[in-house]
């Protein structure tokens, strides 16, 4: 084993310690603040959750959430499917319907322009697209980065049951760049978990 600190460091060890600890603090702070900024400035959308198959997906202490906007029917697509397998990301326009929930109005592999009609544009997580034989594919399955919700140990079960009974709704905040964060989780319209920004 060679000496672990055989040669002198360039900077004083105290300066080094402060630089590296400040750098780590800044990275963690950036992670927290970029989420808080979405909750502060984003547009709220109310989403209907759908049952997840297999039904018991409580992994450790988080609940898997799936939404009706997680399935994009191909007839909502305003541009064409890629011809070859590729990394892809969808833009999805969400609009409020009469039932109070926000649903998919249109989707595109490219970008969608912001409109002044109260709709918002969300970006999906990147996914890998495999072309299917024509006609065999009718919908795309996508994620928005709000599919996991960590709950205190032992509290996941009621959420799972409500989700499977379709009584669970989620209010999410969408940033101008289309990133989503969960703001509120409600059962039968009554808020159960409300997320403070910090």
For other proteins, the binding residues (CB under 8 A) are 1-11, 13-14, 16-21, 23-25, 27-28, 31-32, 35, 60, 62, 85-87, 125-126, 128, 143, 145-150, 152-153, 181-182, 195-196, 198
For other proteins, the closer CB: 60 or 135: 60
For other proteins, the closer CB: 6 or 80: 6
For other proteins, the closer CB: 1 or 110: 1
Q: How far is the CB of 7 from other proteins (least distance, A)?
A: 6
Quote the strand ranges of the chain, DSSP E: 43-48, 62-64, 71-73, 86-88, 91-96, 102-108, 120-123, 127-129, 139-141, 148-150, 168-174, 180-187, 190-194
Q: How far is the CB of 164 from other proteins (least distance, A)?
A: 21
**φ, ψ dihedrals at 2, nearest 5°:** -75, 160
For other proteins, the closer CB: 106 or 151: 151
Q: Of 115, 94, 116, which is closest to residue 105 (Cα–Cα)?
A: 94
Q: How far is the CB of 185 from other proteins (least distance, A)?
A: 10
CB-CB contact of 82 with 137 (8 Å): no
Q: How far is the CB of 8 from other proteins (least distance, A)?
A: 7
Cβ-proximal residues to 39 (8 Å cutoff; 6+ apart), any chain: 173, 181, 183, 195, 197
For other proteins, the closer CB: 69 or 182: 182
Q: How far is the CB of 150 from other proteins (least distance, A)?
A: 5
DSSP 49: B
């Amino acid at each position: 084993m060679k000496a672990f600190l055989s040669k002198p460091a360039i900077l004083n060890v105290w300066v080094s310690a402060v630089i590296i600890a400040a750098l780590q603090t800044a990275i963690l702070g950036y992670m927290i603040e970029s989420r808080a900024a979405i909750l502060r400035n984003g547009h709220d959308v109310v989403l209907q959750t759908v049952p997840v198959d297999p039904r018991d997906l409580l992994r450790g202490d988080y609940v898997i959430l799936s939404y009706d906007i997680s399935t994009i029917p191909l007839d909502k697509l305003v541009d064409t499917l890629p011809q070859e397998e590729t990394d892809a990301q969808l833009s999805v326009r969400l609009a409020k319907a009469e039932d109070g929930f926000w649903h998919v109005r249109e989707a595109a592999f490219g970008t969608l322009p912001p409109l002044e009609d109260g709709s918002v544009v969300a970006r999906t997580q990147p996914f890998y697209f495999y072309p299917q034989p024509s006609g065999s594919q009718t919908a795309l399955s996508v994620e928005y980065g709000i599919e996991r919700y960590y709950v205190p140990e032992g509290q996941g079960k009621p959420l799972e049951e409500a989700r499977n009974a379709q009584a669970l709704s989620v209010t999410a905040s969408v940033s101008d760049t289309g990133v989503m964060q969960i703001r509120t989780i409600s059962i039968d319209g009554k808020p159960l978990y409300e997320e403070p920004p910090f």
